[in-house]
Amino acid sequence: MSDAPILPGATLGVLGSGQLGRMFALAGRRLGYRVHVFSPDSDSPTGQVADREVVASYDDLHAIRAFARSVDVITFEFENVPAATAEAAAELVPVRPSGAALHVAQQRAREKGYLADHGFPVTPFARFESVDGLERALAAIGTPAILKTASFGYDGKGQVRVDSPEQAREAWLAMARPEAILERFIRFERELSVVAARGVGGWVVTYGAIENTHENHILDTSVLPSAVSPGVEQQAIEIARGIMEAMDVVGVLCVEFFQAPGGELLINELAPRPHNSGHLTIDASMTSQFEQQVRAICGLPPGSTDLLRPAAMANLLGDLWSGGEPDWPAALLLPGVHLHLYGKALPRPGRKMGHLTALASTPGDALALAVKARAALTLSG
C-alpha cells in the first residue's frame, strides 16, 4: 500500500466509538475529512459526531471488510479490537497503528514482556497461570503487590492490591481467569505519562511529561507541565520515543510511568492511541493529541506540541450525577475552564462522562481551578 498522503476530503475510519473516537472525529472533521466509525452500539459518543456510524460486532469480518472499503485509512480508539479484525481490514486499506503494535499492547503480560525484552524499564512483574506459578511469582515479587488479569484490563478493572500471599491466592481464585501477572507494588513519588505521535516516514513528536493522579485506579487529574526535574522528563520522553520506534507505531501512543522515590522511571503500561491524560492538549497545546493522530495516520507533517498555558484536567465520572444533573453553569462561570462532555446517556458510577480543562498562569493554579470547577458542579445539589 502506498505512503502517499491522505488529504483532507478523504474518509477516516475509526474502530471503537467512545470519547477517544469522538475527539478524534472532531479533529478530523475540523481538518476537512469525513469520518466513519465502526461501533458495537448505535448513537455512540463517536457516532454522534461522525459522518457515518456502522453498527456491527468486531467479530463480523464481512462488516469490517465493507467498512474498510468505505474509508481511506483506519485507526483505533480501542485497543482490544481482535487481531483478526485488524488483519481483515489491513488487506484493503492502511491500518495505523498496525495490528502488530496493537497485539503487543492488548495484553499486559505480552506488553510487559515485550518492553523488558527490548530494554525498557518496567515495573517488576511475574506472569503465571497455575497455583505453582503463583507461588513462584510470590517468591520472586513478594507482597504488597498488585494482581492483574493478563488481558482486557483498563481503568483498574481486573486488578487488586494484595498485602499477603494468602490474599494473593484468594484474589487469584476469585478472578476466575487463570492467566495473570503479579506486579510489585510501587510506592511511587508521582505518576507521569508521555503522549507521543509518530507519522508515516518516521517523524516523532512528544508532549512534555504530564503528572497524573488516580482515584480507585481511574485517572482523576492530569497536569502539564509536571513538577518533575527536566532530566527525568527528558528520560521519559526518550523512552516514549524509543518505544514508538521499536514498535514502529504510526499514530499516537501514551506511556504511563511511575517515578520511584529515587527518581527512577518504571513503565506501568502503554496505550497505542490518544490517552485520557492527553485530553488537556485540546485546550492547552498548539496541536491536540487528536489532531496529531489525524496528521500521523494521514501521512501529514506533525503539529507543534508547544504548550500555550499551564493546564490541568479533571475527569467527570458518572458518580457526579448521583444528586441529579451537575450544575454546568457553575463551572463555566470560572474564567479559564473548558467543559467537554462525551454524549453518554447513562451516568453509571465510574463511567467517564466528560472532563474539565482549566488553564492558568501556573500548573498549581490550573489544578486548583480544575478541582474547584468540578466541585462547583455539585455544590448546589
State how far the alpha carbon of 207 is from the alpha carbons of 33, 50, 213, 262, 363, in Å. Answer: 25, 27, 18, 24, 15
DSSP track, 224-285: ES-SS-HHHHHHHHHHHHHHHHHHT--EEEEEEEEE-TTS-EEEEEEESS--GGGTTHHHHB
State how far Cα 375 lies from the chain centre: 25
Q: How far is the CB of 309 from ligand AMP (least distance, A)?
A: 26
How would you classify the pairing of strands 218-224 and 210-215? antiparallel
Map the footprint of ligand AMP across residues 137-156, applying CB under 6 A: 146, 153, 156
For residue 236, the minimal CB distance to ligand AMP (Å) is 15
User: Which of 6, 146 has the CB closer to ligand AMP?
Assistant: 146
Select the span of 25-33, 95-103, 181-189, 306-314 touching ligand AMP (CB under 6 A): 181-189
**Residue pointed to by grid coordinates 487528536:** 290
Cβ proximity to ligand AMP: between 145 and 320 the closer is 145
Radius of gyration over alpha carbons of the chain, in Å?
20
In the list 53, 79, 111, 183, the residue contacting ligand AMP (rule: CB under 6 A) is 183
Regarding 111 and contact with ligand AMP (CB under 6 A), the answer is no
| Distance of closest approach, residue 257 Cβ to ligand AMP, in angstroms | 10
Joined together, the cell numbers standing for residue 305 give 506540541
Contact status, residue 2 vs residue 10, Cβ threshold 8 Å: no
Is residue 217 at the binding interface for ligand AMP, with CB under 6 A as the rule? yes
133 CB contacts (<8 Å, ≥6 apart)?
A: 127
Of residues 72 and 191, the one with the C-beta less far from ligand AMP = 191
Residue 124 interacts with ligand AMP (CB under 6 A)?
no
Q: Residue 93 or 126: which CB sits closer to ligand AMP?
A: 126
CB of 213 to ligand AMP, least distance (A): 8
- Residue 70 or 154 with smaller CB distance to ligand AMP: 154
Task: Name the DSSP class of 319.
Answer: G
* Residue 77 or 211 having the CB closest to ligand AMP: 211
Shortest Å, Cβ 183 to ligand AMP: 4
The DSSP string of 105-141 is HTBHHHHHHHHHHTT--B--EEEESSHHHHHHHHHHH
CA 136 distance to own-chain centroid: 32
Would you give the binding string for ligand AMP spanning residues 52-91, x where CB under 6 A is met? Answer: ----------------------------------------
Site residues for ligand AMP, 245-274, by CB under 6 A, read: 256, 268-269
Q: Are 9 and 270 in contact (CB under 8 A)?
A: no
Number of residues that bind ligand AMP (CB under 6 A): 15
Q: CB-wise, 65 or 184, nearer to ligand AMP?
A: 184
Tell how many helices (H) and how many strands (E) occur in the chain.
Answer: 12, 17
Which residues share a beta bridge with 215?
218
Nearer to ligand AMP, 275 or 340 (CB): 275
Q: Which of 136, 169, 190, 214 binds ligand AMP (CB under 6 A)?
A: 214
Q: Which residues bind ligand AMP (CB under 6 A)?
A: 123, 146, 153, 156, 159, 183-186, 191, 214, 217, 256, 268-269
